[in-house]
Structures are given as structure tokens and as C-alpha cells.
Amino acid sequence: MFDPGFDYNVIADYRVNPVISAKNELRRRLTTGLIANGYAEYKIIPSLTLRVTGGITNNMQRDEAFNNSQTQLGNPRNSSGVNGSVYYNPSTIWLNENTLSYKRVFNKVHDFTILAGYTMQGNKTGRNGFAALNVPNESLGLDGLDESPSLIGTSLSSRWGLLSYLGRINYSYKSKYYFTASFRSDGSSKFAQGKRWGYFPSGALSWRMSAEEFMKKLTFVSDAKLRISYGETGNNRVADFSYLDQITQPNSAGYSYGNGSPSKGAILSAFGNANLKWETTKQVNIGYDLSLFKQRVNLTLDIYRKTTHDLLLQALLPYTTGLSDAYKNVGKMQNQGLEISLNTVNIHGKEFNWSSSFNISFNRNKVLALSENQTSLKSPVSFDQKWNALSPYIALLGQPVGQFYGAIWDGVYQYEDFDKSPQGVYTLKDNIPRNGNPTVQPGDIKYKDLDGDGNVNANDFTVVGRGLPKHTGGLSNNFSYKGFDLNVFLQWSYGNDIINANRMLFDGNGKQSRFFNQYASYANRWQPDNPSNTLFRTGGQGPFYYSSRVVEDGSYLRLKTISLGYNFPARIFEKAQFKSLRIYASAQNIATWTNYSGPDPEVSVRNSTLTPGFDFSAYPLASTLIFGLNLSF
């Protein structure tokens, strides 16, 4: 948008032509890979079987980049000049499983299956290559990178291993009563000696009620089963060698002795924690399966409670340590919920059939403990330098994780909020809270002063939204008529919010509004002749807080898939050389109904348990249309 009040000759113009830039840059990724799997079985005796499996995945990825003198990087002060890079990223994953299984039925009513074994798994990754700056001969492209006076090399690798022992016993009596018990012992190289092993038991009981005599009188019941289970699982997903202190030698770390040229130095880049151990999740589940009317109606209910303790998190550290965080086993969290699925055969005829599948999930979570007597845990998001020092998320004891945290937006300061001096200077009235800016002016953004001290700051931040939905679900309908078949699938999410961080940059963010294209709403920003109460004046967003202004309802209903197909009658192919022919067309992401103003409500670009529902520069889901043909010989 052209602003007649802006002097484009004074401040550099950061705008770029994306077409010119794209035509003058190289971005290429070449990948070669090998995937191999195999197994062998040997029956030692009829009831005892040895099974050995193995697999390996080997990938080599080469990333190439080159920017010539016409590449527009968007920063006129960029000192890289003509530049490029070549990097290799090797990766190898291997897995070996060895099990003995014993299966026997006694007296036709006692069915036993016993399994024991051990597994081994390993992973090795690496990255090596170099980047070249200010390449003198751009006509050679990548072949001329070695002529650069500034070569920056990279060479690193990492690896981890996992060893597990396991055992399981399954027992059923008359296919009516079922019992399962299992035990795992897992050892991970990601933890220090003495902390590497975790032990995880589980068990389940089930009762097929429909096999009892008193249930057989209910002829409309096809099957009924009650289930209860308990299990523990472990998580070791931390960075490799997290139990060790890590030292690096970055280019930015150096020291000048005697006013000489700076010499490269080593710095502590990560604190190790030799007390790290497995994160453990304990879950109790009660379920019920019911099938009615010759399996035309099938209902499944599951109620669960899952508690996770010793969470592996990057806990915040005091600034005096020199580092911002380190891995620790901290906190405790609970998830509980209800899952319902219903499958029905609505119409079953000679030519026309209609069946439906419905599912819905309700989940609630709660923070039960944090580290070192904390009552809250704030989580920052890497987004823009103006907001990087703030934390838009908070986890509070006794409340859900992933809650949005910031100021409560209260509109825009208007002229009536100020006293005007004879010299035309506007001074905020004493009874009007200040937004944290000592020179607040008409048209600036306004927040609520929750603590009543007359000035809005971090003490006034509060929970302004939730990142987790109240429930999610889907509905699928399948129709068939003669040779035609049709599938229609809808999905939804309800009750979650989204931080639309795009609006923080494209709704009139100070000078940035002159460098970037703005949303159409920018035309209705506050101006002296347009005292808007919905969008502040240009440059009136400071101080830069996260606030409820950019928190939006992320609920949606999406027509996810429509698929239509036709199977040609078999009689057509009696004299042909093939057995069947099917043509089909499928469309995905067809329509979405939502109040969210962004391009896609199903978004979370900084997704984690602590930071859900953040939208900034996310690429929306593409609508796709596929035509296909299946021919069987």
C-alpha cells in the first residue's frame, strides 16, 4: 500500500520482487536411499517358534543452494554477496528383533500364548559441508564456491542406541475371559550410566459378556465385551548425549589478546544432566464394545486417565548460569477423556447400500506439578524480535497446559481520553490507565489494567485463550449403488483458540507496515478523521505485547474428502485380458466453515504440548483433485 506521508528516499525499501528472486536462486535437494527388511521363522517344536527380523534404512541427502547477484534477499545491507552452500546429511537407522513364542490350547478351553525376546535399535545421523560468501565468479555457480575468500565448514555427527527385553502372556478361557500381562525393560544410550534402564509393566482383563447364558436371550445383541487395562510406557526423546556438558566453537566466539586479531574460542553451549532418566506415563482405560442387530450397529466407548511424571523438558535456568535452559525430569501432567465411535449399516439392499462411521473425542488435561516449587511455566515462541522476549503461553498448576498468556485488549485510545494543552500537546487523563508507553497518544492500542495501578505491564498479563479443543471428531458416510460408490468425510474441532500472529505484523505494525503489504483492515486504522476503536494508528501498537486482540476462535467444520468411483461390470471383460476396471475421482479439503480470519484454522506452526495453536506464515492446506484408474489383469 502506498503511503503519501512516507519518504521512501529516507528509509531503505525492503520490498523484493519474488519472481526475479526465484529465477536467480538455486534450491535443490537430492536424496538417495536404501530400505531393506527381512525375517526368518523356525518352528523348534509345533508350539514353539523362533522369529528373527531385521531392517535398515540408509539415506544420503545433498542440499544445494546458490544466490547470484540478482537474488533479492530482502536486506540491502546484506554482506554475503554472491553465495552458496553444499551440505551432505547421512542417516542410518537399523532394527533387530528376536522373539520366542509358545502357543498351546489345553482341554480345548485354555488358550495360552507366551512370548519373550529382545530387540536392538540404533540411529546415526550427520551433517557435513560448507557455505561460501562473496563468491568472485558467479558464472561458475556451485563449481566456483571454492574461490570464495570466506568458507565456513560444518562437520558433525550424532548417534544413539536402544536395547529392550520384553515378555508377554495371553490367556483366554472358553473365548469368554481374557487376560494379558506384559513387561518391558528398555535401556537407552541417551541417559548416563546408572540411569539408562526403565521398567514398564502392563496388564489387561476383558469379559465377553455376550457369551454368557443370560445374554444369549437378548437376540438383538450380536456381541458385547467389557475391557479394563493398565499400562506404563516410557519416553526417552531428548537430544543425543543430553547427560553431557557440550562445548562448541562458533565463529561468533572469540577473544582479542593484546588488541590483536580475535582468536577463535570455545564456549559452553549446553548443560548436561547426569540425573536424566526415562519419562513415564501410566494409563488406566475402561472400555466397552457393543454390537447390535447382526452387527449393523457397532458402538465402542473408552474412558481413560493418563498420568505422566518425570517429564523430559527443557527447564528454564537463571540468566546467571549463562544459558537459558537445560533438560530436566520435571513436572507431572494428567490427561483424561472419553472416546466414542459408532459404526452403522443404515441401508443394506440388493443394489443400494449406506453405512456411516462417527467418532468424537473429549480430552482434558491438567498440570499436577512443575519443577522446584514452581506455580507456573511460561513458554516463549521464536517469532519476531519485538516479541521474542515475551511468552505467549503459560502452564499453571491445576489448569490445562497450552493456555494463551498476555494482556486483555481494550480498544484504542480516543481524544476524549486526553487533556489537550493550548500548545496542542495531549496528556492522558489521570483516571485512564496507561498502556505501558510513557508517551501514549490518541490512536494507540489500549489494554485493561487488571491490578489497578494505572499502568499496564507484565503484572496485568493473564490467560486469554486455550490452545486445546474441547472435542474433535469426524463423520464418514459411504454409499454404493450398483457399480457406483461414494464416500463423504467431514471432520471438526471445537473449543480451541489460535494466536493469529500474522495480524501483529500485517495490521499496521509501525514502520513494518511500510515495508510489507498489509491486510485490507489497515485501510480502516485509527486516523484523526477516522477514530476507529478496532485498529490502532500506524506506529501505535507499542509496547509490543501479546494480547487477546489476536486470539481467535479456531473451531471449524471441514468437508475433508469426497470420493466417487465406478466399477465396470465383470461381464464386459469376458473376452478381454484383464479382470476388473475401476475409475474414480477424489477431492480433498473442499470447504471449511470457521470464524477464524486466517487461511486455515487447522494450524500450529510452533506445535508442542506447551505451545499449540500458533499461526504465523503457515502455508494453508491445498485443495486437491485426483482422477485415477485401477486395472487388474
Asked whether the predicted pLDDT for residue 338 surpasses 90, the reply is yes
> Which one is predicted more confidently, 7 or 400?
400
pTM, two decimals, is 0.83
Contact 401, 395 (CB under 8 A): yes
Distance of alpha carbon 537 from alpha carbon 520, whole angstroms? 14
- The H-or-E segment that residue 376 falls in is strand 376-379
Distance of alpha carbon 516 from alpha carbon 502, whole angstroms? 12
Distance of alpha carbon 616 from alpha carbon 499, whole angstroms? 9
524-549 mean pLDDT:
91
Mean pLDDT for the chain?
A: 90
* Rounded percentage of the chain residues whose pLDDT exceeds 90: 70
Question: Parallel, antiparallel, or unpaired for β 497-500 and 614-615?
Answer: parallel
CA 34 vs. chain centroid, Å, equals: 28
> What is the model's pLDDT at position 480?
96
**Cβ neighbours around 232 below 10 Å, total:** 16
> What is the model's pLDDT at position 7?
41
294-300 mean pLDDT:
95
98-126 mean pLDDT:
96
Q: Which amino acid is at 15?
A: R
Asked whether the predicted pLDDT for residue 9 surpasses 70, the reply is no
Contact 207, 176 (CB under 8 A): yes
Contact 465, 551 (CB under 8 A): yes
Indicate left, alpha or beta for 532 from its phi (over 0: left) and psi (-120 to 50: alpha).
beta
Residue labelled with grid coordinates 498468556: 405
Coil, strand or helix: which one is 352?
A: strand
Cis (ω within 30 of 0) for the bond into 149? no
Q: Please, which residues bridge with residue 418 across strands?
A: 428
Distance of alpha carbon 282 from alpha carbon 186, whole angstroms? 16
Give me the numbers of helices (H) and strands (E) for the chain, helices first please.
Answer: 4, 34
552-563 mean pLDDT:
97
> Which one is predicted more confidently, 561 or 321?
561
Task: Report pLDDT digits (tens) over 55-69.
Answer: 999 999 999 999 998
Distance of alpha carbon 218 from alpha carbon 31, whole angstroms? 60
> What is the model's pLDDT at position 262?
81
> What is the model's pLDDT at position 527?
93
> What is the model's pLDDT at position 320?
81
Contact 203, 182 (CB under 8 A): yes
Task: Report pLDDT digits (tens) over 226-256.
Answer: 999 999 999 999 999 999 999 888 777 788 8
Cell of 500: 493469529
Question: Parallel, antiparallel, or unpaired for β 614-615 and 580-594?
Answer: unpaired
Distance of alpha carbon 485 from alpha carbon 568, whole angstroms? 12
CA 115 vs. chain centroid, Å, equals: 35
- The H-or-E segment that residue 364 falls in is strand 352-369
Phi and psi at residue 463, in whole multiples of 5°? -70, 125
CA 576 vs. chain centroid, Å, equals: 50
Q: Specify the range with the lowest mean pLDDT, choosing from 112-116, 169-173, 535-539.
A: 535-539
Task: Report pLDDT digits (tens) over 414-430.
Answer: 999 999 999 989 999 99
Asked whether the predicted pLDDT for residue 146 surpasses 80, the reply is yes
313-331 mean pLDDT:
84
> What is the model's pLDDT at position 5?
39
Contact 503, 556 (CB under 8 A): no
> What is the model's pLDDT at position 515?
65
Task: Report pLDDT digits (tens) over 258-283.
Answer: 888 888 888 888 999 999 999 999 99
Asked whether the predicted pLDDT for residue 213 surpasses 70, the reply is yes
Contact 586, 471 (CB under 8 A): no
> What is the model's pLDDT at position 76?
45
> What is the model's pLDDT at position 1?
35
DSSP-derived secondary structure letter, 521 = G
Cell of 546: 501479546
**Cβ neighbours around 230 below 10 Å, total:** 13
Residue 73: pLDDT band with limits 50, 70, 90: low
Asked whether the predicted pLDDT for residue 356 surpasses 90, the reply is yes
Asked whether the predicted pLDDT for residue 164 surpasses 90, the reply is yes
Radius of gyration of the chain (CA): 31
- The H-or-E segment that residue 216 falls in is helix 213-216
Contacts of 80 (CB under 8 A, 6+ apart): 67, 73, 133, 134
341-354 mean pLDDT:
95
> What is the model's pLDDT at position 231?
97
SS3 content of the chain, % helix, strand, coil (to 5): 10, 55, 40
> What is the model's pLDDT at position 514?
59
Residue 628: pLDDT band with limits 50, 70, 90: very high
Contact 341, 300 (CB under 8 A): yes
302-320 mean pLDDT:
89
